[in-house]
Amino acid sequence: MSLSMHQASVPVFLQMLNNLSAILDKADAYARNHEIDPEVLLNYRLAPDMLPFVRQIQIAADLAKGAAARLAGVEVPKHDDTEKTFADLKARITNTATFVQSIQPRDIDGSEGRDITLTLGDHTLSFKGQQYLLHFVLPNFYFHCTTAYDILRHCGVDLGKRDFIGAI
């Protein structure tokens, strides 16, 4: 057994997307039980110049989707950022997970040296596949997953570390 690019990406994304989906259920239930307009939680930020909860989830999903597609050398599916409810965000995550799961080991293994180019605004970032996954995608993916969790915890949603890490 040796570590592969597929093992270091697809199951990692799926685990965390699954955890986020369960976290969204808890946030939705919290809003209902406390008669909080869900939009308050969806638009909550930890600082005025940080992104709101809804964007944290959208970006986490896009990082997983983009990484799976780019490492496999297929087109990145387009998901519009139109979510207005927790149910919408759950659907976004389900769609993302379905795509990520469609990427097989044979599609992605051996992509360590694949050239990956990202355009972020005016910046162009160039990576090899392994560097892209380990030093760009995973820290960013976990950053947005954690910040989504932290926003909900700050708002009082009853979550614990096990909700974040999931079943081991």
Instruction: Kindly tell me which of 95 and 130 has the beta carbon lying closer to a copy of itself.
Output: 130
Residue 3 or 75: the one with the smaller Cβ distance to a copy of itself is: 3
Those residues with Cβ within 8 angstroms of residue 11's Cβ, 6 or more apart along the chain or in another chain: none
**Least distance in angstroms from the C-beta of 28 to a copy of itself:** 19
Looking at the chain, list the stretches that DSSP marks H as alpha helix, in order from N- to C-terminal side.
10-33, 38-42, 53-72, 86-102, 105-108, 129-131, 138-154, 161-165
Q: Which residues bind a copy of itself (CB under 8 A)?
A: 1-5, 7-8, 11-12, 15-16, 46-47, 50, 110, 112-113, 125, 127, 130-131, 134-136, 138-140, 142-143, 146-147, 149-150, 153-154, 156, 161, 164-165, 168
Q: Indicate the SS3 state at residue 6.
A: coil
Nearest distance in Å: CB 139, a copy of itself = 6
115 in helix, strand or coil? strand
Q: Are 30 and 159 in contact (CB under 8 A)?
A: no
* Bridge partners for 116 per DSSP: 127
Considering the complex, state which of residue 78 and residue 120 has its C-beta at the smaller distance from a copy of itself.
120
Place of tokens 């199951």: 11
Dist CA 125 CA 107 (whole Å):
23
Please, are residues 27 and 41 in contact by the beta-carbon 8 Å criterion? yes
CB of 165 to a copy of itself, least distance (A): 6
Query: Nearer Cβ to a copy of itself, position 101 or 146?
Result: 146
Minimum distance from CB of 148 to a copy of itself (Å)? 10
Nearer to a copy of itself, 77 or 110 (CB): 110
Q: How far is the CB of 71 from a copy of itself (least distance, A)?
A: 11
